[in-house]
Amino acid sequence: MAQMQISELLEEVYVGQERLTRDTIHRHAVAAGAAPDVVAALDRLPEGEYSLVEVTEVLVVADQDRVRADLGVPANQLTDDDLSREVTHLHQTREQTFRHGSEQALARHDERTAELEEEYLRRNPQREVDPDRLRSGARLREPVQET
């Protein structure tokens, strides 16, 4: 998706406006001769009103999801090292996605995490389990004394 064109289009459309409907944004894009992929992304927006920040986020996430869908490697085709790295990266980005990502980004994060974790467990059914992470291990630990 042409990011510069999206930015320029949205800046023009939102001059003096805080929120606009999806249809208004779409009409401006078509009238301005926006690229087909920009118009298609706007077509996929749910009905409603959007601030400049909200519509930009939706369009950027839609573009990222499209790229990931086109370039993402299925979990069962990753090497063990790549799978481990991908799982680690998803866990590192979880809080940021949960707190600040759009619904689409969070749903995609959930899907990818489930896919990668299932593949990891399939490949490592006898993975090492830390005894302290079991209920019985937690009971054996001494209680923390408050000072």
* CA dihedral sign, ordered 29, 31, 32, 36: positive
Q: Same domain for 48 and 3?
A: yes
CB atoms within 10 A of CB 14: 19
Structure confidence at residue 71 (pLDDT): 42
Does 20 reside within a domain? yes
The total number of structural domains that make up the chain:
2
Distance CA 73, CA 90 (A): 14
Mean pLDDT: which of 7-11, 117-121, 127-131, 140-144 is highest?
117-121
Structure tokens at 4: 């510069």
Does 106 reside within a domain? yes
Does 29 reside within a domain? yes
Structure confidence at residue 4 (pLDDT): 46
Q: Same domain for 41 and 88?
A: no
- What is the pLDDT confidence band of residue 2, given thresholds at 50, 70 and 90? very low
Give the residue numbers spanning the domain of 41: 1-55
pLDDT at 56 over 50: yes
Does 66 reside within a domain? no
Which pTM does this prediction carry? 0.46
* Count of helix runs (H) and strand runs (E) in the chain: 7, 2
Does 67 reside within a domain? no
Q: Same domain for 5 and 47?
A: yes
pLDDT at 142 over 90: no
Structure confidence at residue 70 (pLDDT): 44
Mean pLDDT of 33-58: 82
Q: Same domain for 77 and 47?
A: no
Q: Same domain for 77 and 49?
A: no
Q: Same domain for 78 and 115?
A: yes
Q: Give 83-123 pLDDT, tens digit per residue.
A: 999 899 889 888 888 888 888 888 888 988 999 999 999 99
Q: How many CA atoms lie within 13 A of 138 on its CB side?
A: 3
Which residues are CB-neighbours of 70 under 8 A, at least 6 positions away? none
Does 38 reside within a domain? yes
Structure tokens at 113: 């995490």
